[in-house]
Structure 1
Amino acid sequence: MKKSLYIVLGAGMLLGATSCDEYLDTSSPSIASSDFVFTHEESAQGALNYAYEMWRGSSAVHSNGLFYDVVVDGDETTRQPERFGAQARNLPQSMYAAISGAAGGVNCEKGGTKNFSLDYKNSASAFSGLYSIIGQTNYLTRAFEAQPEFEKILKEGKPTVLSDLYGQAVALRATCYFELLRFFGDIPYSLEPGVAAEGLVSRDYIYDDQLRRLKLVEPFMFRLGENASAVPTIMTRDYVDGLIGRMALYAAGFSTRRNDVEYVGYDGNKISFEIACKSANTNSFYARRSDYRKILEDALPYLRSFYAASLSRNSYGYLVVKDGRTSDVFNTEDGKVERKYGNPYQYAFQQMMNGDGFYSAESVYEIPETRAVGANERPYAFGRPSNGGGSNSFPCKAYGQSRFNPLYYYNDFDPKDLRRDVTCAVTGSDGKGGEAIISLAGNASAKLAGGIALNKWDENRGSSPYVLSQRQAGINCPYMRSADIYLMIAEIDAIIGNEVEGKQMLADVHNRAFAEPQDINAFIEKCGGSLLDAVIEERKLEFGGEGSRRYDLIRNNMLTPVLTDFHNKMEAMYSDLQTKGYHTFENGNVISNYIWVKSVDAKKLFGYRLTTQYSAPEEAAEYDWQNDLASTVLYPCWRGQNDDWYSVGYASYSLESDRTKNLAKINQTTTNLSIVGLFRHVDEAEAKALEADGYTRVDWGISLLSSDNKDDYNKNVLCGYVYDYPPIYFLPFSITDMQTSKITNGYGFQNVK
C-alpha cells in the first residue's frame, strides 16, 4: 500500500479532458504550449502525473478489465471460480471455444471467433483508454523535443530532471503500445499530436520503433534511488531496461498473425518468418520473425545493465534473497514461543502490504493505489478470499477471482518450495476473525468456494487493514519485479545458446525459493533437459497469479506440449480419485477425496494467530494431529488470521456505538484451522478417531469428480485452442474502433458490413 505519487499538481490547467471519441486522433488541446510545460520542472511533472493517473485508473489492462478477463486466469495453472460459460469473458479467456464447454477446441475452426460479439466492453475500454494515454504522451514528448535545449540535454550524456521526465513519457507511451500489441496484434500507430492514428500498422514496425526510442532515452533517466523521486511507482531507467527486454521477447517470439497485413520492420523491409502452423478459417499463421536472435541479442545488454546496477542496491529494485524480519516472541501457558519468518519470497510481497509510503524491495515498477481511496483489486479480486460483508467485517469481502488448478498446487511445486504457500491458499477468512476452508467446487458467489486461491495479498497481513469497506486495501500492482528481469535474461540466453549465464540467472531465482541451495542441473533435467523449458517452468512457479503464464507459452510455442501433459495428468488424478479415493503425485504429495478440519485457539496454543513459515516434519508425520498439533495448524504455511482483529476494529471506529455493534461479531478464541489429510491419505480408522476428537470431514478431491467441476478443471481449460492451429488470443476491434480508425478485424472476427 503506497500513497499515490500521481497527484495532479495543477494538471487541470495543463491538460484538458479527452473524450472517448477523440482518443485515436490524439488532437485534443491537452498541453497549452511546449514553453509552458517545460519552462519549469513542476509544470512538466504535473503534466506527466496526469498521464500516469490515466494509466493507473483507466487503462483496463493491469488490475481489472482485460487483465481480469483473459490474463490472470488464462492458462492451465489457473482457473476462474465460476462455472465455465457463465461469463462472456470465458470465450476470449478460452481462446474462443465455439461451443461452451467444448473439450479441446471442438468446432473452434468452424466459428469460434466469427460469432463473438464486437460489443465486448472491456476490450473497447482498454483500446480507448490506452490511446488516450498515448495522446497525452505524444503531446508531452513533442513539447520536450520542441525545446531549443533538447539536443544539448541529450548530448550531455547524463540524466537531468527534465531528461528523466521526457524518458518517463517515452516509457509510458511504449508501455501502452506494448499492451495494445499484446491484446490486439497489429494496430493503428501515431506519435504525432493532432494527427489521427488510422489504418493497421505492422506490429514489427511498432516494436522496432518503440525499442529504438526506449534505447535512446535510457541513458538519460535516473535509476531507482538515484534521486528522491526515483521510486518504484515511476518509470525509471531500471524499468526501461526491463521493458526493452519484455518487448523484445514478445517481438521475437511466436505470435499469431494476419494474412492480410504486410509485415515490415522499422527499416521498411519485409519481415520473413519461421512458420509453425496456418489456418485458412481464421486467415492467420503462427510464426516468429527469422531475425529473432538479433532482436534478443540487442536487448540483452540492457537487461544486464539492470542486473549489474541491482547488485549494489539495498532499497528497491533488487532480487530479495534474505528475509529481513526478526522472530516474534510470545508468552503462552507452556512458555515462550517464537514465530519465525525465513521466507524472502513472502517478504517481497509483505512489503507491499506495509502501508502507504512503503514499496517492495523486489519491485522495479509498481502501479500505485492508496488505502481507502477508489476501488483496489488486491486482495479483493487477486488475493486471499474472505466471506465478510462489504463493510465492517474482519476482513471485508474478498471475492478471489484468481484461482489455481490443484495440479499446480500439488504436482508442480516441490514440497519444499517456499513459494507454494505464499502463492496458493487453501483457506480464507469467514469475515468474523476466523479461518475457513475453501471448497474446490465451482461457485458463482466465489469467496470461500471456487478452488485454491491466490495468497500473495491478504488483508489479514496488512499493517493497517481497512475494515470500513471492501476493495480499499491500497495494495499496489506489481507490474515488473526484479525476478522477472533475471528470468528474461535466462530466457534469452536459453534461446540464443548462452547456457552459462542463463543457468546462473535461473539458479539465482530458483535458489531463493528454497532454504538450502538446489542443484540447478537436476532441476533442468527434471524439466526435460532443456534450459528454456526449465526457465518457463520457473516462471510458472515464480509468477503464479501475476498474469505471466499465458503469454510465456504463446511466445515460446509451448501450448500443445504443455496442455497435452496437463490433460494426461488430470485424467490420471481423476482416475485414482474415482477408484482409490486418493492420488499420489511424483513429488510424494497426495490429494484425497476428503480432508478433516477443526477450529482451534491458536492464540492460546502458540501466542499468535497469523501463521508464517513452518518447517513440516518429513514423511507423513506432518499431520500427526495426536502428537504434534502444530503441524496441522501451521502447515501449510502463511494462513491463519490477523493476530488481533479486535484491536484493529477498535482503532477503526471513533464512536462507541460503532464499536459495540461491530466488535461483538469478532471470534477471539477458536480462530484457526487444524487440517488433516491435505497431503496424505487418511484411512477409515484414523477418520473415526479424528471425528471422535471433534474434527469434521470436508469434501476435497471428490468435489472435482462432479460432471461440471470435472470439465471445468480439465476439458474446459483453454478449450478453444486447437492443437497445430494458430492460437487466437487477441481481442477484436469494436465497430466504433473500426469506423473511427479505418481498420478491420482479422482472425475470423466479424467486420463492419
Structure 2
Amino acid sequence: MKKLINYIAIFMLCIIFAQCKKSYLDVSSPSNVDDKFVTSTPSQTFEVLSWCYANYRQNCIMGTYRWNDPIGSDAEMYPEANSSNNLNAILRPDLIPIDAQAGGFNNLYTTIAYAAKVASLIAAKPAYQADIKAGTTSDWTQLYGEAMTMRAMCYFDLIKHFGDVPYGYENSYVVNYSLNSRFDIYDTLISSLKAVEPFMYVLGQGGLTAERLSRTYCDALIGELALFSGGYQTIRTDISGLYGNVKFITKGTQANNCVYAQRTDSLNYFKIADQYLQLAITNEGSCHLITSDNRSYANNPYQLVFQYMNNLQVSPEYLFEVGNLQGGPSGQTTNSEYPYAFGRPSAGGSSNAYPTKTFDCLRIIPTFYYGDYENGDKRRDASVAVTGSTGKGNETMLSFVPGNKTTGGIAINKWDDNRMNPPYTAAQRNSGIDWPILRMSDVMLMLAEVKSKLGESADAISLVNQIRERAFGNATHDISGLTGPALTAAVYEERKLELIGEGTRRWDMIRSGNFSTDAIAVQQDMQAMVNDLHAKGYHSFANGNVISNYIYTKMVNLTNPLTYDADTTNPALYPGWRGQYNYSTIAGSGIVATAAHNVAIEGLFSYIDPNGPVAASLISQGYVKTKWGIDIVNNFTSYQYNILSGITSATDAPRYYWPIPSATLISSNGKVTNGYGLPNQ
C-alpha cells in the first residue's frame, strides 16, 4: 500500500496560525516560538507542509479546474440535460453566480499562504542557508523548493481559471489590493522556481514518490508556465495598462471587454519551455514513460499507466499525483472524487454496491471516439468505455440518453472500480485511487509542441513517435515529413488521443489559438453525423468506422468476467478492457446478480440493417436490438447545448474563466473587478 500524505491535526493548525480571518489575504502569521516548535526538524516541517497537500486535495482541486476542464472540449462533454453544472465548460461563465467558486478560489490562496509561510521559516534556518551556500541539496532545500513549487502550482491554477488575480499579498495585512497582470505573475513564478529547482530531489531521491513535489515536477511546471504564458489566451481590454509593455497579436473579434490574444514575444517563452521540459525528462529519476507490459494476461502498456492507480500504487509514469487514502480513518478522511466524477460509470448505490455509484460527469463526444482513433490504437479501449456497471456485478451498455451513471453517453475508462483488486465496495468516493496531475507522456508532448513552434521538426516528430509506438506496439504508424503548423496540429491531435479525459484538451485548444474554430468544427461534425443517422440510420467516418442507430446485444457468461485486450472474434471481448470484476469472490456480496455478467456487442462499428438477414440471425441467437445512435438523434438539442454552445462563431473569444468571488471584489475597494462579461455582484 502506498505511503500517503496525512492531514495535520486541527490543533496543529491552530498553533501555526494564531487566528482565522474571513479574507484569504488576512491569514495571520504565527509567533516566533511556535514557528520554531513546528519546524525544528525536516520531518516536523513536512508535517506542516503536508497540510497544503491535504487542503489542495480536499478543498481546491475539484472546486475549480478538476470539475470543468475535462468536460469542455471538442472531445469531452457533460452528460446531463439542462444542467447549470457545466456553464463554464460550455463557455457561458457569464451565467455563473459570482460566488460559485469562492471555496476553490479562497482555498487556493489559503494554501499559497501556508506554503509561503513554510518557505519563509525554512529560509531563515542556518542549516538551510549553509546548504544553499555550499550548493548542497538536502532535506531542507527540498522542503523549501517543495513549498515554493506548491505556491507556484496554486497561482498557476488561479491564473488559468480566474485570469489576472491579486498576487504576492500572502501572510501580510493589506487594506487595498489590486489585480496583477498574469504575465507578470508568470515571470515571477518562473524566476522563483528557477532558483529552487537545482536544490530539490528528483523523483526517487530522498524517499520522494510522485505524491510529493520534486525537482522533476518543478522543471515541468516551469515549462508549463512558460508555455501558457507564450500561448493564446483571452485577455481583458477594460483595464488600461494592466499588461504593461506586453504587446499582443489578436484573433477574432473583441467583445465582452476581452479579446483572444498571444504575446508577440512568445518565442522567448517557448525557448524557456523547451529548456525546462527537457530538464524534466533529463531529471526524470524514478519516473519514466511506460513502454512495456509484462502482465501474462495483457499487452497494453498504455493501460498499465492507469492500472497502477487502480491498484492503489503510485504510477511510475506520473510526475505528480494527488494522494488518497482508502476508506478514510477518523480524522484522515480523503475524498476520492476523481474516479467517482470521471471514472467508468456505475449505477450502484452509494454504499455496499458492486461497484458503488460512479456518477461520471465526463463523457466522450461520439465523433471523437468513432472518428479520431486509427485502427490498432491500444489507447481507444483503455480510454473510452461503451459499457458500465449495474452495481449488482453485471455489465450494461451505456446509453446516449442524457443523464448520469449508465445514461449520458460513452465514458472515460481510465479509472474503473472494477479494476481494483479487490474493489472497494463499502462506500462511494472512498476508493483511495489517486488523482492524476502530470505524467511523462504529457511532458514529452508539450515538449514536442514547443519544438514544433521553434522549428525543430525532427525532434518534435521523434517525441510524438515515441508515444505512438507505445500506442500501436510498433513503428508502422509513425508520422513523418511534417513541419510548421501542420506538425503543431499533429502534436495537438496526438495530445488529444493520449490525454483524453485528463483535463488537458481544453487548455490545448485555448493555447493553440484555435479554440473557437475547433468548437465550430465539432459542432458541425456532430450535425453531419446526426443528419446521416436520421436519414440513413448510420454515419460513416473517414477511418472506416460506422455508428448506427441500433446495435445488437446479449448477456453472456465468461470464465473471467473482467476483460482485457480485445479479441475481434468474440463480441463479448470487443471492444476490450471492459466486463466486471468477479464480485462473487467478495464476502457479503449477496446483492450480486447470478445472471450472465458480460455484454456481447454486434454492430458497434459497422452497420447492421435492422430489416436485413444479419439482424434476423442475431435475434434468433438471443441478441436484442438496442438503441444506440438513435438516442443521440432524439436528444440532439441536449448535445448541442452541452458541446461548447457558448461558441457561436469561429471569431468568438473563448470565455473560460470563473468569476472572482464577491468578498474579494468588495475588500479591494473597487480595484478588483470581474471582466469578460462576468458578474460583479
Output the TM-score relative to the length of structure 2: 0.94
Per the alignment, in what secondary structure is the counterpart of residue 289 of structure 2? coil
The alpha-carbon deviation at position 341 of structure 1 amounts to 0.6
Residue number among 631, 649, 664 corresponding to 1:703 in the alignment: 631
Q: Is the 8 A contact 2:520 2:650 kept in 1?
A: no
Map of 1:498 onto structure 2: 456
Check if 1:364 corresponds to 2:319: yes
Contact 2:337/2:429 (CA < 8 Å) preserved in 1? yes
Q: Name the CA distance, whole Å, in 2 between partners of 1:667 and 1:461.
A: 19
Cα 1:522–1:439 change in 2 (3 A) is farther
Q: Amino acid of the residue matched to residue 658 of structure 2? A: L
Secondary structure of 1:513's match?
A: helix
Is 2:500 aligned against 1:521?
A: no
**Does the 8 A contact of 2:23 with 2:663 survive in 1?**
no
1:567 is displaced (CA, Å) by: 2.7
2:530 corresponds in structure 1 to 574
1:219 is matched with which residue?
Answer: 198
Tell whether the 8 Å contact from 1:263 to 1:271 is kept in structure 2 after alignment.
no
Aligned with 2:363 (options 399, 403, 406): 403
Match of 1:728? 655
TM-fit CA distance, 1:365: 0.3
Q: CA deviation at 1:400?
A: 1.5
1:416 and 2:376 aligned: yes
Q: How many Å apart are 1:75 and its aligned residue?
A: 1.0
SS at match of 2:88: helix
Distance 1:291-1:507 versus aligned 2 partners, 3 A rule: same
Q: 1:658-711: per-residue Cα shift (whole Å, max 9, x none)?
A: x3xxx33323451111111101111321111111111111100111111xx213
Q: Distance in 1 between matches of 2:668 and 2:2?
A: 38
Is residue 2:549 matched to residue 1:593?
A: yes
1:44 aligns to 2:23 (yes or no): no
4+ residue runs over 6 A deviation:
none
Matched, 1:679 2:657: no
CA drift of 1:21 comes to 0.8
Counterpart contact for 2:346–2:357, Cα < 8 Å: yes
Give the counterpart letter for 1:595 in structure 2.
I
What residue number does 1:744 align with?
673
Deviation at 1:22, TM superposition (A): 3.4
1 CA distance for matches of 2:485 and 2:162?
Answer: 34
Provide the rounded CA distance (Å) in 2 between the counterparts of 1:672 and 1:78.
26
Query: Which one is further off, 160-169 or 714-723?
Result: 714-723
How far apart, in 2, do the equivalents of 1:2 and 1:501 lie? 36
Q: Deviations over 1:699-731 (max 9, x none)?
A: 00111111xx21333464211124313211111
For residues 288 and 676 of structure 1, do their structure 2 counterparts lie closer, same or farther at Cα, with a shift above 3 Å needed?
A: same
1:645 aligns with 2:570: no
Inter-CA distance 219–405: structure 2 relative to 1 (3 Å threshold):
same
The Cα shift of 1:126 comes to 1.2
Out of 71, 74, 78, the residue aligned to residue 73 of structure 1 is 71
Q: Is 1:351 aligned to 2:308, yes or no?
A: yes
2:335–2:429 Cα contact (<8 Å) kept: yes
Would you say 1:317 and 2:271 are equivalent positions? Answer: no
1:147 CA displacement: 2.7
CA distance in structure 2 between the partners assigned to 1:730 and 1:451 by the alignment: 26
Amino acid at match of 2:317: E
The SS at the match of 1:379 is helix
The equivalent residue for 1:554 is 510
Counterpart code for 2:287: G
Partner of 1:380: 340
What are structure 1's unaligned runs of at least 5 residues?
Answer: 97-111, 328-339, 617-627, 651-658
Question: How big is the shift at 1:11?
Answer: 3.8
Determine if the alignment matches structure 1 residue 203 to structure 2 residue 174: no
Equivalent-residue separation in structure 1 for 2:294 and 2:15 (angstroms): 43
3-state secondary structure, aligned to 2:407:
coil
- Report the equivalent of 1:4: 4
Which among 90, 93, 108 is matched to residue 94 of structure 1? Answer: 90
Could you tell me which of 444, 464, 467 is aligned with 2:425? 467
Letter in 2 for 1:458: D
Q: Using a 3 Å threshold, how does the CA distance of structure 1 residues 47 and 498 change in structure 2: closer, same or farther?
A: same
**1:583 and 1:447 mapped to 2: Cα distance?**
26
Partner residue of 1:109?
none
1:27–1:135 Cα contact (<8 Å) kept: no
Equivalents in 2 of 1:293, 1:118: separation in Å?
36
What is the alpha-carbon distance in structure 2 between the residues aligned to residue 47 and residue 406 of structure 1? Answer: 46
Question: Residues 226-625 of structure 1: matches in 2 within 5 Å?
Answer: 226-228=205-207, 230-261=208-239, 270-279=245-254, 281-310=255-284, 316-325=286-295, 327=296, 340-355=297-312, 358-373=313-328, 374-443=334-403, 446-521=404-479, 530-603=486-559, 608-616=560-568
**What do the CA deviations read for 1:92-133 (whole angstroms, capped 9, x no partner)?**
22111xxxxxxxxxxxxxxx72x543132xx11111010110
Where 2:249 maps in the other structure, the secondary structure is: strand
Offset, 1:201? 0.6
Cα distance in 2 for residues equivalent to 1:303 and 1:391? 43
Name the residue aligned to 1:161: 139
Per the TM alignment, residue 278 of structure 1 is displaced from its structure 2 partner at its CA by 4.2
Within 2, Cα distance between the matches of 1:590 and 1:206? 48
Give deviations 1:415-467, integer Å, cap 9, x for gaps. Answer: 21111111110101111111100001102xx1111000111011111022111
2:593 equivalent to 1:667:
yes
CA offset digits 1:272-298 (Å, max 9, x no partner): 11222442x411222111111111212
Q: Secondary structure, in 3 states, of the residue corresponding to 1:136? A: helix
- Alignment partner of 1:287: what SS? strand
Change (3 A) 1:263 1:306: farther
Root-mean-square deviation (CA, aligned residues, Å) is: 2.2
* Structure 2: runs of 5 or more not aligned: 329-333
Q: Is the Cα–Cα contact under 8 Å of residues 384 and 398 in structure 1 kept in the other structure?
A: yes
Give the residue type in structure 2 aligned to 1:299: A
C-alpha spacing 1:412/1:24, structure 2 compared with 1 (3 Å)? same
CA distance 1:302–1:613, shift in 2 (3 Å): same
Alignment match, 2:331: none
One-letter code aligned to 2:259 = F
